[in-house]
């Protein structure tokens, strides 16, 4: 990524799916077929379960589809049963790391652990996709304070030179897997709020370097409005990323948006 405006990003988070390596291969090959051979103006990333990564790297040699990881451990090695390091992930082709997903936070991941992971990934010059978002919305706007606290904790000690590797994913927890979706106006409002925090912390130049994604029941039916009216820089997609047709259609919607809105 350069200092110019980065590409629109469409990232699929498969979570703990699909159930077998055979079905994972089939899904990835269907996505690859749906995207086609042409050079895309959208950066496409898929984050499968860690055990599938080596095989996913083997069947995506052209890097039209990049690989992501759903989590990382901050240490390089050591007595950390069940964990994987950045170097391990990079050795099987991973370039993007999801950090602080709401499901990880709900399982007990702390702000300190998220901070350490952000430091590790950015220092390693991989792309950190840092997730923030409120569990519910209130009439008084207190949810803005939740997002601000998450951002400031995660980005503490981040150096300006690392910003080109940073992506923020806004995922309102109440819209994940519920079928509900934040409106484009909600997404745009939060994008502006996150930009204000980034500008206060790093200066105006940060706004051209850091992508702000939306995640939360994204599907082909609402993707265009979220781009056009929400003005987000792409998506972190859960359920729809497990359906090759839906995921590739969202990528194509992103490609049309980029074509019609050249920077």
Residues annotated as catalytic (active site), given as ranges: 101, 171
Gap between the Cα atoms of 129 and 233, Å rounded: 12
Q: Distances in Å between the alpha carbon of 66 and those of 20, 53, 96, 229?
A: 21, 11, 8, 27
Gap between the Cα atoms of 216 and 236, Å rounded: 8
Q: What does the angle CA 193 – CA 199 – CA 204 come to, to the nearest 5 degrees?
A: 125
Is residue 218 a contact partner of residue 237, using CB atoms and an 8 Å limit?
Answer: yes
Closest CA to 27 of 246, 201, 195: 246
Task: Please name the residues in contact with 177: beta carbons below 8 A apart, sequence gap of 6 or more.
Answer: 217, 238, 239
Q: Which residues pair with residue 73 across a beta bridge? A: 85
């Amino acid at each position: 990524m350069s200092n110019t405006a980065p590409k629109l990003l469409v990232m699929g988070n498969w979570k703990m799916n699909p159930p077998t390596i055979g079905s994972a291969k089939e899904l990835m090959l269907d996505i690859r077929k749906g995207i086609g051979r042409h050079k895309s103006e959208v950066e496409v990333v898929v984050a499968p379960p860690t055990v599938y990564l080596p095989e996913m790297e083997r069947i995506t040699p052209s890097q039209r589809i990049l690989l992501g990881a759903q989590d990382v451990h901050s240490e390089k090695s050591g007595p950390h049963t069940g964990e994987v390091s950045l170097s391990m992930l990079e050795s099987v082709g991973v370039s993007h790391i999801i950090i602080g997903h709401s499901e990880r936070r709900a399982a007990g991941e702390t702000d300190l652990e998220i901070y350490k992971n952000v430091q590790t990934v950015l220092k390693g010059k991989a792309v950190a996709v840092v997730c923030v978002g409120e569990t519910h919305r209130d009439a008084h706007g207190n949810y803005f304070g939740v997002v601000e606290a998450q951002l400031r904790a995660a980005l503490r000690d981040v150096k300006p030179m690392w910003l080109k590797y940073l992506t923020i994913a806004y995922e309102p927890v109440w819209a994940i897997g519920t079928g509900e979706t934040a409106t484009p106006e909600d997404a745009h409002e939060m994008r502006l709020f996150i930009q204000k925090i980034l500008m206060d912390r790093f200066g105006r130049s940060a706004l051209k370097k850091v992508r702000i994604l939306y995640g939360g029941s994204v599907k082909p039916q609402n993707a265009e409005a979220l781009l056009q009216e929400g003005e987000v820089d792409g998506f972190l997609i859960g359920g729809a990323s497990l359906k090759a047709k839906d995921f590739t259609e969202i990528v194509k919607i992103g490609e049309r948006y980029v074509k019609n809105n050249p920077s």
